[in-house]
Chain A
């Protein structure tokens, strides 16, 4: 079974600092990988996805993630944090292929951005 682990349930950064949110997956075959963001009292919004086309994936709001097969990781980064980035972030994994395969979510990382 596939799984994801998000290291650090809470991360705090200063405004303008690098954001690094960690995600490691467990899968025998490199899967599809996703990062979602959830702002307070809202649903999840897709930030970016890895579909094996390129290992460095750029998403919305200046975020990007790099797929590293050797480390089974898909960490999310942003060079300079903004106050509006404060939210909860979820990493998710899915088997290859379409057909509505289910996503498995990590338990989330709450990002706090301080002045």
Chain B
């Protein structure tokens, strides 16, 4: 599996505060993704990146922004957290020929 770490692993924050989640990979994969996982919804793509400084929106991007200044790091920012953003967030990377993705361990975020 790709070496993918996420930090923090758990976070509790209050409504209206900014939050940044970090994804770090050691596989030199070009593509990186942020998902959120909620019961009954499976995984939904928030944003993705196809290279340094190249990012695009996924299906649930409202209220989120991303940045990628280095190949190995992909940051997800909740500009002003809301309770609806309480979720488990997963980072994934892809660099193979068949689009298979490799996932990090996840970050559990609670917005009070």
Contacts and interface: CB of A to CB of B under 8 A. Distances in A.
Interface of A: 32, 34, 36, 41-46, 49, 51, 90, 94-95, 97-103, 105-108
A26 B100 CA distance: 18
Contacts of A51: 98
A38 B103 CA distance: 10
A45 B99 contact: no
Given A90-B42, A90-B43, A100-B50, A42 B98 contact: no
Interface of B: 1, 4, 30-31, 33, 40-43, 45, 48, 50, 58, 90, 92, 94, 96-106
A15 to B, nearest CB: 26
B98 A43 contact: no
B103 A43 contact: yes
Contacts of B45: 102
27 contacts: A32-B98, A32-B100, A34-B100, A36-B103, A41-B106, A42-B105, A42-B106, A43-B104, A44-B43, A44-B90, A44-B92, A44-B103, A46-B101, A90-B42, A90-B43, A94-B98, A95-B99, A98-B98, A98-B99, A100-B31, A100-B48, A100-B99, A103-B99, A103-B101, A105-B42, A107-B40, A107-B41
Given A42-B105, A44-B90, A102-B48, A94 B40 contact: no
A44 B104 CA distance: 8
Contacts of A41: 106
B99 A94 contact: yes
Contacts of B4: 43
A114 B41 CA distance: 26
A43 B48 contact: no
